[in-house]
Structure 1
Amino acid sequence: MKLRRMLAIVLKELRQLRRDRLTFAMIVGIPVMQLVLFGYAINLDVRHLNAAVMDQADTARSRELVAQLEATQVIDLSYRVATPQEVDDLMGRGKINVAVVLPVDFETRLERGDRPALQLVVDGSDQVVQASARQLARFPVPDAEGWTEQVAPIEVVNFYNPERRAPVNTVPGLIGVILTMTMVLFTAIALVRERENGNLEMLIATPVSPWELTLGKVLPFVGIGLIQVTVVLVLGRWLFAVPVRGSLLELYLAALVFILASLSLGIFLSTLARSQFQAMQMAFFTFLPQILLSGFMFPFAGMPKVAQWLAELLPLTHFLRLVRGIMLRDAALLELWPALAALGVFTLVMLSVAVARTRKSLD
């Protein structure tokens, strides 16, 4: 083995890497992105959960307790309601994560200590919210002379997941994660593979338009995505007894829109890459932020506002709201229309940009 020949190969690889600007940028971009996401955007301390309060006692001590709960910054009391039906409606539509219910005999219960003085109604479809509720359940309440360190009996009621089983939260999210991984990756290399295999030369000779070419590459993968959704639902039901409380048809419609959004992102990436390896790199580059910022692994409410704004641009964030709402909270698809509209806009924008970048030429 000659050192000179080996160094020549090393120099050749370095020059090639310098010309490959995308790979060179990812060498720096991936560690920078991970550092920013894990060090800044990812925050395990849950703050500012949307909450409602139903203060049936409406006394000085009950109002003081509500103010102190909000001062913890764990919850933001965005709604004040008068009936349990309003709590059910807000939580079913995903407007709130927690509801603080103070009964009419709140002060009597405090004095006797034989029954829970207040009730925390929690959205059990999110494990992070359940953990936060347990923290609030240890919160001190006011006595007649001020604040005491003694914790009064607080009843925590978990809606949608009373047994607090982790698969109930995880399996619906895994539908989105699996679709993101496969759909984006499959289509990211679609047009690139056509160029590398020489098939694009035959397409150039046909009257196929850029829109027809783009949609023709997308549609075959729609069926694959729906099959994957079915597999996860069946196995989730069979192995983990994960329920589907809402409409199965609406669940598939939501999954269809998300599949189209993921495929449009993959097609867009394929128009940027010059090789299948680059297409795979970019697919994983977009996959990581979606996993970390969507609320699948880390609490969405604990992220800084800038990270939340960025997460709103990612399709997985909106699909998690759809799939958890339909599967676990029996929410109607129209009740979750903001998330559905966001996915539709994302799909239209990505497809339009991809079509604009698609050229029926070899250069």
Structure 2
Amino acid sequence: MTTTFTCYTATTGRILRQLRADRRTVAMLVLVPTLLLALVYFVYHDTPSMPGMPTLFDRVGISLLGILPFIVMFLITAIAMQRERSSGTLERLMTTPLSKLDLLAGYGSAFSLAATVQAGLACLVAFWLLGMQSAGSVWLVLLIAVLDAVLGVALGLLASAFARTEFQAVQFMPLIVGPQLFLCGLLVPRGQLPRWLEVISDVLPLSYAVDALQQVSRYTGTTGLMWRDLGIVAVFAVVALALGAATLRRRTA
């Protein structure tokens, strides 16, 4: 047990040190979702809204607080993990007492810490600088945004297990992220989708993340539906991490 914990913390620390040394990656992790959210604000800034009703930016922006961290963390994690493979670092780590689950858990923890900073900055800018309004607590929005980012980390680690190059890791993005982005309810409410697309949407984790954010935007307190949706997102993240560990393989080129 002690060895497992030591391996886990050592992996987490190593990834955090690598991130700190890579300023461009840190900048992308932390700033890109916030900058894109600000862009959306200016796109909808002059769009009229009904008195007493949420603005279009409020309705779209709160969903993007979950979607953008998910996309960025998926992309960064998949590429970073594939880089470990191509550099031979993963091969060397596999000869140590470090287990596959320790490795992926360490990656997940390190990137989840980065995701917390990322989501915190995005929420800070959205609510205090851009004037986003939500009936529910900002802290609930932050919780969901962080969980969405963690989901992106877990799916990125899983996708990296099937890629042989960094370019292939990027190619998984439209395959895994694209359908979720189109069917999560951002473009069209899920209830208005054709039935067969709604069924597909029901098995995609990002749909539940967006639903949870919409619950927070409409209600002043927590709801059972919100907690159910968050539980589903968390289960997807855990399952993706477990599958990533199961499919992680040593390459003998």
2:68 to 163, 166, 178: 178
List aligned pairs for 1:68-79, cutoff 5 A.
none
Aligned in 2, Cα 1:279/1:354: closer, same or farther, shift over 3 Å?
A: same
Shift of 1:176: 1.8
- Judge conservation of contact 2:66–2:144 (CA < 8 Å) in 1: no
List aligned pairs for 1:213-252, cutoff 5 A.
213-252=103-142
Determine the structure 1 residue equivalent to 2:80: 190
Determine the structure 1 residue equivalent to 2:220: 330
Looking at secondary structure, tell me which structure has more helix per residue. 2
Computed over aligned residues only, the root mean square deviation of the Cα atoms, in angstroms, reads: 2.1
What code does the residue aligned with 2:82 have?
Answer: V
Determine the structure 2 residue equivalent to 1:279: 169
Determine the structure 2 residue equivalent to 1:321: 211
What code does the residue aligned with 2:215 have?
Answer: G
Unaligned runs of 5+ in 1: 1-157
**Aligned equivalents of 1:342 and 1:259: distance in 2?**
14
2:231 to 330, 341, 357: 341
Determine the structure 2 residue equivalent to 1:81: none
Determine the structure 1 residue equivalent to 2:46: none
**Aligned equivalents of 2:237 and 2:220: distance in 1?**
26
Aligned in 2, Cα 1:328/1:231: closer, same or farther, shift over 3 Å?
A: farther
What is the DSSP-based 3-state SS (H/G/I as helix, E as strand, rest coil) of the residue aligned with 1:189? Answer: helix
List aligned pairs for 1:1-363, cutoff 5 A.
162-332=52-222, 334-362=224-252
Greater mean deviation of Cα atoms: 207-216 or 290-299: 290-299
The CA deviation string for residues 248-297 of structure 1, in whole angstroms up to 9 with x for no partner, is 44333333332222211111100010100000010232221111100101
Shift of 1:308: 1.0
TM-score, normalised with respect to structure 1? 0.52
Unaligned runs of 5+ in 2: 1-49
Shift of 1:334: 4.1
Aligned in 2, Cα 1:253/1:240: closer, same or farther, shift over 3 Å?
A: closer
The CA deviation string for residues 12-54 of structure 1, in whole angstroms up to 9 with x for no partner, is xxxxxxxxxxxxxxxxxxxxxxxxxxxxxxxxxxxxxxxxxxx
Aligned in 2, Cα 1:197/1:248: closer, same or farther, shift over 3 Å?
A: same
Q: Quick one: higher RCO (CA 8 Å, sep 6+), 1 or 2?
A: 2
The CA deviation string for residues 316-348 of structure 1, in whole angstroms up to 9 with x for no partner, is 211111122224422405442221221122122
What code does the residue aligned with 2:75 have?
Answer: L
Shift of 1:310: 0.9
Structure number with bigger Rg: 1
Aligned in 2, Cα 1:278/1:355: closer, same or farther, shift over 3 Å?
A: same
- Judge conservation of contact 1:322–1:333 (CA < 8 Å) in 2: no
TM-score, normalised with respect to structure 2? 0.73
State, as a whole percentage, how many aligned pairs show the same letter.
26
Aligned in 2, Cα 1:164/1:323: closer, same or farther, shift over 3 Å?
A: closer
What code does the residue aligned with 1:193 have?
Answer: R
Looking at secondary structure, tell me which structure has more strand per residue. 1
Greater mean deviation of Cα atoms: 224-233 or 236-245: 236-245
**Aligned equivalents of 2:85 and 2:76: distance in 1?**
15
